[in-house]
Amino acid sequence: MTDRAFAVVRAGALTTVQDLGRPGHAHLGVPRSGALDPSTARLVNRLVGNPPDAAVLETTLTGCAVRPRRPVTVAVGGAACPVTVGGRPAPWGAPVRVPAGALLDVGAALSGVRTYIAFDGGVAVEAVLGSRSTDLLSGLGPPPLADGAVLPLGSASGTHARVDTVPQPGPPRELVLRATFGPRADWFTPAALNTLTTRAYRVSSASNRIGLRTEGPALERALQAELPSEGMVSGAVQVPPDGRPVVFLADHPTTGGYPVIAVVRETDLASAAQAQPGTPVRFAAVGRR
């Protein structure tokens, strides 16, 4: 078996295939999906000479282990973790050559939540609506990795620049989310608006690719009426009946019926994706740009 592919030896808690997503299909009820930390996905692709939109693996907390059938160059970035090739330590954040049949083991995150693994040539699963991303909400794309699965790899083109190392920020000790009030801020009391931007929250262990859930003071609504379902965007801060804000991430639903008190700037969402459960969260009010 010498085809360009790898076998999954240890799938980990949740490992999915992700690229930069499938934008433009919200009218069909399909969220964008894609890597929760897209800047890191681009960086590991750059390390192995791939274009920035090549498909990579996104692991969650516990890493994964795979065995390539041909020699392949890989790069691991995002959440810091131990990396071994054939049982020997290998660098994180730099390109590594993995021989055919050797075990690439990406260990549990030491800090952060999501680790990204790029292979030269990219993960070549079938594209759906222009993307190879796994979408946990709609079920589009390949299923999450399972032990024993075999995934194809593309051919390394060699046409893109490769680098030896790239800087990567660590996960936030305090997650600061810049948010603009609206579109349904008027559904909440003035005290609730003040609570959102002055009180401390923490990342809940119930967070996932759909949304970052928080623990902290409940936000009091001024209006108790039912809100007709309306469109949702990444970064929307939706407030369900328990009053604890939820920040929508890549696999969020395209419509929702709970009021959105604010919208977080998209540039802050990658940090949200790497914030471990228990991380303090602070919402900072900013105006529209």
Note the pLDDT tens digit of each residue in 36-93.
999 999 999 999 999 999 999 999 999 999 999 999 999 999 999 999 999 999 999 9
pLDDT of residue 173: 86
- Stretch 179-198: mean pLDDT: 96
pLDDT at 170 over 80: no
Average of per-residue pLDDT across 239-254:
96
Provide mean pLDDT across the span 12-30.
93
Mean of pLDDT values over 200-223: 97
Inform me whether the pLDDT recorded for 98 exceeds 50: yes
Q: Does pLDDT of 2 surpass 70?
A: no
Q: How confident is the model at residue 1 (pLDDT cuts 50, 70, 90)?
A: very low
pLDDT (0 to 100) of residue 161: 64
Residues 254-277 pLDDT 10s = 999 999 999 999 999 999 999 999
Which domains, and CATH codes, for the chain? Answer: 5-152 (no CATH), 175-285 (2.40.100.10)
Strands (E), the chain: 5-10, 16-18, 56-60, 64-68, 72-80, 83-85, 88-90, 95-98, 104-106, 111-119, 150-152, 175-181, 201-203, 211-215, 230-231, 236-238, 246-248, 255-256, 260-264, 280-285
CA gap 80, 108 in Å, rounded: 9
Tell me what pLDDT residue 166 has: 67
The rounded distance, in Å, linking the Cα atoms of 130 and 128 is 5
Cα–Cα distance, 266 to 278 (Å, whole number)? 22
pLDDT of residue 108: 97
Is the pLDDT at 171 greater than 60? The verdict is: yes
